[in-house]
Amino acid sequence: MHLKLWQIDAFANKPLEGNPAAVVPLETWLEAELMQAIARENNLSETAFFVKTGDGRYDLRWFTPRGEVDLCGHATLGSAAVLFEELEPALNSVRFATRSGELVVTRGADGLTMTLPSDPPAPFAAPSGYAEAIGEALGTIPPRELFAARYLVGVWDDPKTIRDMKGCGEIAALLRQQNFWGMAVTAAGDENYDFVSRFFAPDKGVPEDPVTGSSHTILTPFWAERLGKKTMKARQVSPRGGDLTVTDDGARTVLAGKCALYMKGEIFV
C-alpha cells in the first residue's frame, strides 16, 4: 500500500517554525492500529488522517505517537492547508467532522482561520502541596493559580518564568494523579503579546508540543475574561515557538495563523 504524506508547519510563516504535523489523505479508513503505527513512525506530536465525504467535507482523526486524541488544532490547520494548496485548490473553506464536532477552516489573504469549541477552565481544587510539587517538577516556582479543563492549566505572574522552563521535567506522574495527560502553563504576555504559554503532554509521547491549538480553546476564554479583550495576540514560547491570533467568540474559539509546507512524500506499508 502506498499513501501520500505531507508535513506542514502550522502557525508558521516559513518552514522550520511553528508546529509540524503529518497529514495523510485516505480513500477509506485504515485500521486504527495501522494509523497508530504510522503516527508512531512519524514521531510528530500529531499525524492527521482524513477521508472525503462530500464537497468540501471530510472526516478527520488525529494520532499522537501513543494514541488517538479528541482534538488537535495545528494538525487540523495543516490538513486544511494540504487541501487548499495541494488537493482541492478551488476550495476556500473546508468542514471536518471530528470527535469534537464539526471544525471549519477558511482561507484568506492573511492565512487560515479555524473555529474550535471553547473549553473555559474552572478553578482546580488542588490537594495540599500539589502546586508546590508542580513547580518543583517543572524546575520553577509554584503556579499562582491552577485551573482545570481538558488539560490542567497553571498560571504564573511573569512570562519570563514560562519562557525559562526547561521542559516537562517530571510532570507526568503528577498529572496522572489527577487524571490529566496534558498541562498548559501560561502568563500574561510580553513583547507585544497578550499572553504566552507552553504545553506538555509526556503521557501522549509529546514531552512539549511546539504550538497547540487545543490548549488555546482553554486559554482564549480565560485570558479574554482576565484582560477584557475579545481578540488577542498569543505566543507559544516553546523552543520552536509560534504565533496565533485568537478570538473569544463565546461557545467557539477562533484561531488564525499561517502554514508552511516542509515536506511531501510517500508511505510504503
Amino acid at 216: H
CA distance 222 to 52: 35
Q: Say whether 33 is catalytic.
A: no
Find the catalytic residue in 46, 132, 170, 266.
46
Q: Which residues are catalytic?
A: 46
